[in-house]
Amino acid sequence: MSGTDQRIALQITDLNVFYGPIHALKGVSLAVAEGQITTLLGANGAGKTTLLRTISGLNSPSSGSIRLFGEDLTGDPPPARGASIPPSLLSLVPHRVARVLGWVGRPGLAPDEIVARGISQSPEGRQVFPNLTVRENLQLGAYVRSDTAGIAADLSRVLGLWPRLRERLDQLAGTLSGGEQQMLAIARAMMARPKVLLLDEPSLGLAPVIVAGIFETISEINREGTTVLLVEQNAHLALRVATMAYVLETGEIQKCAPAAELRDDPAIRDAYLGGGH
C-alpha cells in the first residue's frame, strides 16, 4: 500500500454545501485512494453525514466538485440568470428548456445514476427497510443492476460474509437486532457492487463486541478489493482499520494524515478517543 502510485478513486475538491442559510460544508477537499479504507472523523454535527449525502447526490453543492475516477458527478453551479426564478416555477419547466434559456446549469448526476456509476452507501442509523424482508432489502441494494448472474453471485458472497443474514433471509428486517440491521445495511450497499463503499457510522449505538465484528468484516471487504470511505465518531476503531484519516470540524477539514499518525496524536486522543480507551 505505498502511497505514490495509488490511484484516487474519489476526489472531492473545495466542496461547499448550504442547508438554507447554514453553511454546512466549507470548502471540503478530500481524496479516497483506490483499494484503501479512508476514514473521516468528526463529532456530531460536524457535517459528516452531509458530505456523504452530497456524494450520493441527495444534497446539491453550491460549488466544488466530486469526481469518481476522474468523472465529475456534480453539476455546474446555477447561472446568475436563473437566480431570480422561483424554484417551484423552475421545476415546472422541462429541464432541457430551462437549460436552453440559461436558467439552470448542467445538472449533477441523480442518486440512481451515482449508484450505477459505483458509489453506494450504508446510511446513518442503518435505515434498513423494516417492512421488507432481509432478502428484499438485499434485492433493492442491487436495484440499478440487471446482471442476474452477478447479482446472485454477490448475494451468496454477502451471505457468506454474514451467515446471520442467511438464517434470517425471509424475516422482516424490522425484526432484526441493531447489529444485524447494521450488517444488513452494509450488505445491502455491497449488493450494488460498488467501486467505493460509503459507511456512515456503522458503530452507532451498538455493543462493543458487535462493533468489533462489523469492523472486522469491513476490513475483509476492503481486502477483497472494495474501496471504503468510513465516517465515524469512534476514532479508536476507525483509525485501526483505516490507512488515511481526515478530521472534520464544523464543516471544515481540520486535519489530514495517515491513520497511524493520528492514532498517536494527543489532540485526537483527547478529542475523540476519550481517556478510557
Partner 1 sequence: MLNGLSLGAIYALIALGYTMVYGTLQLINFAHGEVYMIGAFASLYLARWTGVEENPTLPGVALVGLGAMIFCAALGMTIERVAYRPLRKSSRLNILITAIGVSLLLQNLGLMMFGAIQSFPTLLPETQWEPLPGLHLRSTDVVTLSVTLVLMFGLHHLVERTQFGRAMRAVSHSRDTAAMMGIPVDRVVSITFAVGSALAAAAALLVAMDKHSIRPDMGATGGLKAFVAAVLGGIGSIPGAVAGGFLLGLCETLVSGYLASTWRDAIAFGVLIFILLFRPAGLLGRSTVEKV
Catalog residues that contact partner 1 under the rule CB under 8 A.
53, 56-58, 88-89, 91-92, 110-112, 114-116, 120-121, 123, 125, 127, 129-132, 136, 139-141, 143-144, 174, 176-178, 181, 188, 192, 205
In whole angstroms, what is the distance from residue 63 CA to residue 80 CA? 14
CB of 127 to partner 1, least distance (A): 4
d(CA 21, CA 255) in angstroms, rounded, equals 26
DSSP label at residue 172: B
Q: Where are the alpha helices (DSSP H) in 56-169?
A: 87-90, 95-100, 111-117, 134-141, 148-161, 163-167
Residue 158: exposure state from Cβ atoms within 10 A (0-12, 13-18, ≥19) = buried
For residue 58, the minimal CB distance to partner 1 (Å) is 6
Is 168 or 244 the residue whose CB approaches partner 1 more closely?
A: 168
Minimum CB distance to partner 1 smaller for 145 or for 240: 145
Q: Which is nearer to partner 1, 113 or 216 (CB)?
A: 113
Rg (Cα) of the chain, in Å, rounded?
A: 19
| CB 131, min distance to partner 1, A | 6
Cβ at position 11, least distance to partner 1 in Å: 21
Q: Of 105 and 111, which CB lies nearer to partner 1 in the complex structure? A: 111
Instruction: Give 210-213's long-range contacts (Cβ < 8 A, gap of 24+).
Output: 210/178, 210/179, 210/182, 211/237, 212/237, 213/179
Shortest Å, Cβ 7 to partner 1: 24
From the CB of 135, what's the least distance to partner 1, in Å? 10
Specify the amino acid at residue 254.
Answer: Q
Query: What is each CA distance from 95 to 58, 65, 89, 91, 152, in whole angstroms?
Result: 18, 21, 12, 8, 37
Instruction: Return the number of the residue (31 or 116) whose C-beta is nearest partner 1.
Output: 116
All cell numbers assigned to 112: 440512481
Rank residues 101 and 267 by Cβ distance to partner 1 and give the closer one.
101
Compute, in degrees rounded to 10, the torsion defined by CA atoms 71, 56, 11, 202: -140
